[in-house]
Amino acid sequence: MNIYLVRHGQKMEDDKNHESLELTDRGFIQADIVGKRLKNYNIDKIYSSNMKRAIQTAETINNHLNVEITISNDIREIHMGVCDTKGWAYLQEKYPDFIKEFNKHETDLRYPPDGECGEDVWNRAMNLINEIINSDLENVVVVTHGGVIRSILCGVLQLHQARRFCLGAPPENCSISIIKYNKNTNKFCLHSFNDYAHLDGCPPQ
């Protein structure tokens, strides 16, 4: 089984509108390009985060695949606490101790005051991964977010979630990371990571 993790296309910049951010024009172009590439991979189904930028990416990809799309809350972006509504600058001002520890990337910290950590993301994303690997599907696209991709990869590779920050800075928009799953051995392997060669005509900025 192949699981193609795709980060959504470039999103609009608005730190205080985290939930409903849409793709930019460039983001739609990126999604269209990655859809053209995925057309060659015999994709059976697409799963998408329930956040708007991911859904727009999945729908644009599906213009080339014409397969079922399932929307899942389990692969929405990591909840960054107060940062999601008031921005990173506010977080730096009000939670300096958190920022100091966070920047070390040694501990899997929850975003204050009520956000998630990497393990929280993996625990919910794992529900969807288990659904996929227990299905009869062979090639599945998962359209999600940079933070979720990092947490999933740490989870399947059994790495500490604090190590997720070593995986991309983060992965590029509309890049593909491929997880292969062997049903006979119940083992995952990371086959490729952050592949955006298809975006040669619309490279990351």
Question: Could you report the per-residue pLDDT of 76-88, keeping only the tens digit for each?
Answer: 999 999 998 888 8
pLDDT > 80? residue 19? no
- 6 lies in the same domain as 92: no
Domain that holds residue 21: 2-77+120-201
pLDDT > 80? residue 141? yes
DSSP result, 62-93: HHHH--EEEEEGGGSPP--TTHHHH-HHHHHH
pLDDT > 90? residue 153? yes
pLDDT > 80? residue 106? yes
C-alpha to C-alpha distances, 76 to 12, 37, 49, 147, nearest whole angstrom:
17, 24, 5, 9
Q: Which candidate in 18, 19, 22, 77 is catalytic?
A: 77
79 is catalytic: no
The domain boundary, picked from 56, 89, 115, lies at 115
Q: Which candidate in 8, 64, 116, 172 is catalytic?
A: 8
The domain boundary, picked from 91, 115, 139, lies at 115
Q: Is 78 exposed, middle or buried (0-12, 13-18, 19+ CB in 10 A)?
A: buried
- 71 lies in the same domain as 166: yes
- 68 lies in the same domain as 141: yes
pTM listed for this prediction: 0.95
Let me know: does 100 contact 75? Beta carbons within 8 Å. no
Give the model's pLDDT for residue 188.
98
- 13 lies in the same domain as 61: yes
- 87 lies in the same domain as 139: no
The domain boundary, picked from 95, 115, 135, lies at 115
10-26 average pLDDT score:
80
User: What number of other Cβ atoms are within 10 A of residue 201's Cβ?
Assistant: 8
Give the model's pLDDT for residue 84.
87
Number of domain units in the chain: 2
Give the model's pLDDT for residue 14.
67
172 is catalytic: no
- 39 lies in the same domain as 125: yes
Structure confidence at residue 18 as a pLDDT band (50, 70, 90): low
Give the model's pLDDT for residue 17.
57
